Amino acid sequence: MDDPPLGSSEKTKADSAAAASTVGVERRVLPKPKQSFTPYVDWGYCHPLYCKAVYGGMRGGLRLNIKRDNGTWGGCTAGFNARSGGGGVNGWGWVLTAGHCVVGKTNNTRIHHNGYNILNQHGVAGGYVMEVNSYPYDFAFLNYISGTESGAWLENWGGTGYRNSVLKYCRNGGQDSNADTPCGLQATEQRVTINGYHSLSAIGAGWVVCATGSGSDSKNYPESYDSGAGDDYLVGTRCGRVLSKDVGINTDVCARAGDSGRATVQPDRQQGLRNP
């Protein structure tokens, strides 16, 4: 086991016991075990961490598990579905997330959700800039591994409106959420259909906005990778207000590790917010 923190009573007791022992005592610091991950969890509905294509396919608010170059895993959140038009990528389906989640990655491990490999590590489209990580432009368009995944997670759900939707899984009040801007039914799968967007110039201070993140803590979700969001941080959608604008949109909705890339929507009008 690891040494206790310096100065702790446990370490003092251990040192005393080792000194008093009449037999040889070997002390070793063992590496911390890697976090376990159990794929293909099924909660019977679409959860931000544990969705299956049978519950409606890809949409904003779902966790994207991304392998880092050092071998560990990190998490980001799907923002919106997108489709390209023209050229050699006409009609391709894409998932929009944050650019810093994938920019600079050199490994070719595919991006998965709940153990299902869905997206390429980088957007693949020769001659096109698919990833940018320079504020306020922080985006990545990631395409599906093949037509099989695109069909299961996108194409098969066009007739039911899932292509233009985000998953709303509300967390009213509490950590990083305003009590006076309630999101909706608590910890319940809901779907918000996006029917348009607001440009930066049109967005006003005081607007109520909701962000559909997937940041989480493994203590609460032991089957999932820990995104680094902090102890007892529960996955879900939190609402607040627009505070101001500069070259981006400043809100009082906090973001934690794992929430990057998430969709931000104006819930009453079901509109997305975007930078120019």
What pLDDT digit, counting tens, does each position of 152-185 carry?
999 999 877 888 999 999 988 776 777 788 888 8
Query: Domain 53-273, what architecture?
Result: Beta Barrel (2.40)
Query: Could you tell me the CA-to-CA distances from 204 to 90, 98, 183 in Å, in that order?
Result: 35, 23, 19
pLDDT, residue 2, reads 43
Q: How confident is the model at residue 12 (pLDDT cuts 50, 70, 90)?
A: confident
Q: Give the integer Cα–Cα distance in Å for 181 and 265.
A: 13
pLDDT, residue 14, reads 67
Q: Are 214 and 259 in contact (CB under 8 A)?
A: yes
Q: Which residues contact 6 (CB under 8 A, 6 or more apart)?
A: none
pLDDT, residue 89, reads 87
Q: Is the pLDDT of residue 7 over 60?
A: no
Q: Are 275 and 198 in contact (CB under 8 A)?
A: no
User: Looking at the DSSP assignment, which residues form a beta bridge with residue 39?
Assistant: none
Q: Which helix (H) or strand (E) holds 151?
A: helix 147-153
> What is the pLDDT averaged over residues 229-233?
91
